[in-house]
Amino acid sequence: MSENGKNVGLFVTCLVDLFRPSVAFAAVKLMSDAGCGICVPERQTCCGQPAFNSGDRDDTKKMAKMVIEEFEHFDYLVAPSGSCAGMIKKHYPELFKDDADWHKRALDLSRKTYELVSFLTDVLKVDKVKAVLDRKATYHDSCSGLRELGIKDQPRKLMKSVEGLDLLEAEQAERCCGFGGTFCLKYSDISTRITDDKCDDLMKTGADLVLGGDLGCLMNIAGRMTRRGETVEVRHIAEVLADMTDEVAPISQPKGAS
């Protein structure tokens, strides 16, 4: 039951479901603490972004229709990912522009779709969390979260409320990490160079913890950091805000860690 009258459908995302379910549990905790009723529809599937970016509109529409059917009856759809939230919010209406019925349904869902941290701050008006973490952290702004959804100040506002957390800004925090979904597969050499530049910039801050809001970016950064032998941890911001860092190992293990 919802304490604040807001019933939320949690869009888990493929990467969180398959590789980092702790992010979903953290999202549930954060929204529950804020008084929301949470439901995780069992039939939810991919948002369709990989197919969409590859030009496969037919399969994208099939997946989009399933997402719309599963989530349109909730007050809000919330995803712990700017990438997936951006796909649903910005591209679903465009996808069905020639189908009046589905366009309306896509537009209605778009208007109530949010990335997790944006939902907490912009909709629920959460301005602080009950979390403690004595670390030096830097934050990576994902392309989708920043450029499609305008997410910039929201995560920083909540990170500043974490007791003991020292936030160190990178000079190029807004620069792409080189992941880009299938981009890193199609153009692996370019992707690796971009990722190395990103890792160099993050390491220059002196932080021992890299945070972000998109698991694709974080897995990409973590993988490169590990291969470089860097002694830095990488985590999704939700795990820190939910005070779950003692329960879950980081995405990347620093060299020599067990």
CATH code, domain carrying 221: 3.40.50.11810
- Residue that is last in its domain, among 77, 96, 122: 122
- Cα separation, 105 vs 117, in Å, equals 25
For residues 114 and 133, membership in a common domain is answered with no
Residues in the chain: 258
User: Do the domain assignments include residue 134?
Assistant: yes
- Residue that is last in its domain, among 73, 90, 122: 122
Q: What is the largest CA-CA distance in the chain?
A: 57
Reduced to 3 states, what is the DSSP secondary structure of residue 132? Answer: strand
User: Do the domain assignments include residue 247?
Assistant: no
For residues 101 and 30, membership in a common domain is answered with yes
Average pLDDT, the chain: 93
Dihedral pair phi/psi, residue 140, rounded to 5°: -100, 120
What tens digit of pLDDT does each residue of 46-88 get? 999 999 988 999 999 999 999 999 999 999 999 999 999 999 9
Q: How distant, in Å, are the alpha carbons of 10, 34, 128, 206 from that of 75? A: 11, 15, 23, 42
What tens digit of pLDDT does each residue of 182-215 get? 776 676 778 788 899 999 999 999 999 999 999 9
User: Do the domain assignments include residue 250?
Assistant: no
Classify residue 32 as exposed, middle or buried by CB count within 10 Å of its CB (0-12, 13-18, 19+): middle
- Which residue range(s) make up the domain with 87? 7-122
Q: Which residue has the higher pLDDT, 258 or 128?
A: 128
What tens digit of pLDDT does each residue of 162-189 get? 999 999 999 999 889 877 767 766 767 7
Dihedral pair phi/psi, residue 109, rounded to 5°: -70, -40
- Cα separation, 41 vs 131, in Å, equals 28
User: Do the domain assignments include residue 103?
Assistant: yes
Q: How distant, in Å, are the alpha carbons of 67, 129, 199 from that of 226? A: 35, 30, 11
Residue 35 has pLDDT above 60, yes or no: yes
Q: What total number of domains does the chain contain?
A: 2
- Cα separation, 58 vs 108, in Å, equals 21
Residue 94, both tokens: 């465009």
For residues 86 and 149, membership in a common domain is answered with no
Region at 7 (left for phi over 0; alpha for psi -120 to 50; beta for the rest): beta
For residues 102 and 132, membership in a common domain is answered with no
For residues 110 and 188, membership in a common domain is answered with no
Query: How many other CB atoms sit within 10 Å of the CB of residue 242?
Result: 25
For residues 143 and 198, membership in a common domain is answered with yes
User: Do the domain assignments include residue 254?
Assistant: no
Dihedral pair phi/psi, residue 38, rounded to 5°: -115, 135
> Where does 47-169 show beta strands of DSSP type E?
76-79, 113-115, 136-140, 166-167
For residues 137 and 229, membership in a common domain is answered with yes
Tell me the mean pLDDT in the region 114-118: 99
- Residue that is last in its domain, among 72, 105, 122: 122
The three state secondary structure string of 201-222 is: HHHCCCCCEEEECCHHHHHHHH
For residues 114 and 192, membership in a common domain is answered with no
